[in-house]
Amino acid sequence: MFESIAINLISTLISFLFEQNILKQNHTDIQGAPFWYEKKYNQNRIYVSTYYDGDLDSIDKAKNKAIEKVTIIIEDAYKVTIKKEFLKSRSKKELVFIKAMGDDSNLLAFVKEVIVFQDIEYNKKIQRSFVRAYIDLKVLKQYQTQRIIKIKKEVLDYQFDYMMEELEEETL
C-alpha cells in the first residue's frame, strides 16, 4: 500500500520538477551578467542563477541565495505533489504518510550537501557576484527514496502505537 503511494509521490515530484525545469527556459537580462547566467545545459538538473551586490563577500551571499532558491523550488514541488495525492480518496493511514512526505525538516541540509556551484563570477566594475548552481534530479530521487523508507517506518510505528491504545481502551 505505502510502496505504491511512495513510488507515485516520487515519480510525480520528479516529473513535476523535470517539467518545470523544461518550461522555465526564460532569460532575464541582468546588467553585467555573464553569458552562462540562467542557462540550463542539462534537463536532468535543477539550475538556479543568483546575483548579489557588494564586495567579494557578496559571493557567499549569492551562494546562500542559490541554496535558498533550490530549496524553495523543491518545497513548492512537494506542495503540488502532496496536493495531488490528497485529492485522491485515502485512508487515515495513507493521509498520515502523505502528510509526512511534505514535512521535510532535513531538506535545507540536504540541499547544502549536494548543491553544485557550477559557475561563480565577481564583476568588480559593477560590484556584483553571479552564481549558477544545480542539483541533480537523480540525487533528489535517491534522497526521496531514503526519506520514504524512514517515513514508512514512522507511520508503521504510529499505527502500532494507535492500535495498542485502541486495544488498551477496549480491554478497560
Q: What is the pTM of this model?
A: 0.74
pLDDT digits 0-9 by tens, 41-55: 888 888 999 999 999
pLDDT digits 0-9 by tens, 57-76: 999 999 999 999 999 888 88
The per-residue b/e assignment along 21-39, b for 16 or more CB within 10 angstroms, e otherwise, is beeeeeeeeeeebeeebbe
